[in-house]
Structure formats: structure tokens, C-alpha cells
Amino acid sequence: MINPKDFSAFLASRRSTRDFLPTPVEANVIEELITDGLTAPSWSNTRPYMVAVASGEVRDRISADMLRRAVVLTGFRVGSLADKIKFLFTPKAWPISDHSMIAAYPVELQPRARKVGKELYGLIGVPRGDKQAREAQWMKNYEFFGAPVELFIFAHKDLGVHAANDAGLFSQNLMLSAHARGLGTCAQGAAVLWADAVRREFKVPKGYKLLYGIAVGHPSDALINSFGAERLPAADITVLKA
């Protein structure tokens, strides 16, 4: 058995990695991570998720395609009138994906999202209100932060939230397994704006919808990897007695 204190310390030491070395991660290691992911519990043991492993040329093609589209989308968000018009006439850049990314955060959760953004951008010296610099950092999502492997996680639409929940349990096991091997990971909601860029490269079975990506690789010693997002005290998410 693992000492609980050591286990807690291990869990707490996992942090999202947002800058990777180009050092490759071998296919057999990725298979081991997936195998560890599959030790997670699952709804009737259905494992209603699938993973597409993008490395090498496939990874590069998806990244290049997403980057091209992201540049046009960014133009719409923070660019000139001409950039906005270009976006409207570039349907490939429209973020029409399997799941909506546009949903607003519930009011009570907004402060948490704002806080992490403020602190992350603060650490890397992006001034408040500098939309261009923020977009430049956001754009790195489409380089998968330099990771040599990007995993795309799909969940079966017919099991709804249960499939998404199972995919999350799988992914967390996988990310912890990577962490145990000294590898870094970053879950990436940003990587699913254009599911067709992924589908073109893989035979994704019918009914599976793209949920998020996970960048996997060797962390660099860039400042951004020292970021420590706030961890809430248990009381903040514990429901009070009526």
C-alpha cells in the first residue's frame, strides 16, 4: 500500500504543463498510459470513450490546420474590421464543434475562472487588458504547447454526462500515470473547436464526440510550468446541511 501522505503529495504535485520539450514519447509509453487510464471506474464498465493518439506527421498536420483556423478566429475576436469580415467569410474557422465552447460560466463560478486567468497571465508577464498578448498565449494551445503527442478524447453521445464523466476518470488516471513517469500533461478544451480536423485523420466510430485534447510530453523548465493554480479548501465544495 502507498503511504497516504505520499499519495496526497503526489496528487498535489501534478500541474498542467504548458511548455514541452520536443523529446518524443514512445508509442509503448502512450499505450501504458492508456492502460492505466482504463483502471478507472466506469458506468456499467462500458468505457464509453475512445482516444485518438496524434504524434509525428499526423500531430503536425492537425496542429497546422488548427493554427490556421485559430489565426482567423483570433482576428475576429481582437482584430480589425477587415479581420472580422475575413472570419465571416471563412467557415472553416468557425468554431462549430461537437460540443459548444461558447457557454458562459455560471455567475458563482466566474470569479474562479477570472482568478486563474489573471494569475497565469500575471506570472508570464502578460499585462491585464493586453488582448493580443493573451491571444498569443491562447494560440499556443494549437501548437499543443510543443508536446510531441496530443491525445483526443471522445465520449459516446448516447451516454451523455455518464460518458463524459467516465472519460474524465479515465483521463485523470492517464494524466497521473504520465506524472508518475516524469511526463507532463495538459487537458485542452481549446483543442476541440474544430473536430473535423481530427476526424479527417482518424476513423472515429459513429456516435463518439470530441470532448477535449490532452497534450503529453516532457516538461521544459519554462516559467509557465511553475504555475500553481489555486487549490480550493474542501469546505468550499462541501454542501452544508439544511
69 binds ligand FMN (CB under 6 A): no
Comparing CB distances to ligand FMN, the nearer of 147 and 242 is 147
Please say whether the beta carbons of 173 and 39 come within 8 A.
yes
Order of all β-strands in the sheet with 184-188: 49-55, 149-156, 208-217, 184-188
Comparing CB distances to ligand FMN, the nearer of 18 and 69 is 18
What span, in angstroms and rounded, lies between the C-alpha atoms of 163 and 178?
A: 22
Please choose, from the candidates 150, 163, 142, the residue with its C-alpha nearest in 3D space to the C-alpha of residue 63: 142
Comparing CB distances to ligand FMN, the nearer of 54 and 190 is 190
117 binds ligand FMN (CB under 6 A): no
116 binds ligand FMN (CB under 6 A): yes
Estimate the crossing angle of helix 110-123 against helix 131-139, to 10 degrees. Answer: 90
Among 55, 74, 173, 188, which residue sits at the site for ligand FMN (rule: CB under 6 A)? 188
Comparing CB distances to ligand FMN, the nearer of 57 and 233 is 233
* Segment lying near ligand FMN (by CB under 6 A), choices 44-52, 121-129, 184-192, 197-205: 184-192
Q: In angstroms, what is the minimal distance from the CB of 186 to ligand FMN?
A: 5
Among 42, 141, 177, 220, which residue sits at the site for ligand FMN (rule: CB under 6 A)? 141
Where helices occur in the chain by DSSP H, the ranges are 4-13, 27-37, 56-78, 81-88, 110-123, 131-139, 160-180, 195-199
Q: In angstroms, what is the minimal distance from the CB of 13 to ligand FMN?
A: 10
Please say whether the beta carbons of 155 and 208 come within 8 A.
yes
Report the SS3 class of residue 150: strand
190 binds ligand FMN (CB under 6 A): yes
187 binds ligand FMN (CB under 6 A): yes
Among 25, 167, 186, 195, which residue sits at the site for ligand FMN (rule: CB under 6 A)? 186
Contacting ligand FMN within 4-63 (CB under 6 A) = 15-16, 18
Name the residues that contact ligand FMN, by CB under 6 A: 15-16, 18, 116, 141, 186-190, 212, 229
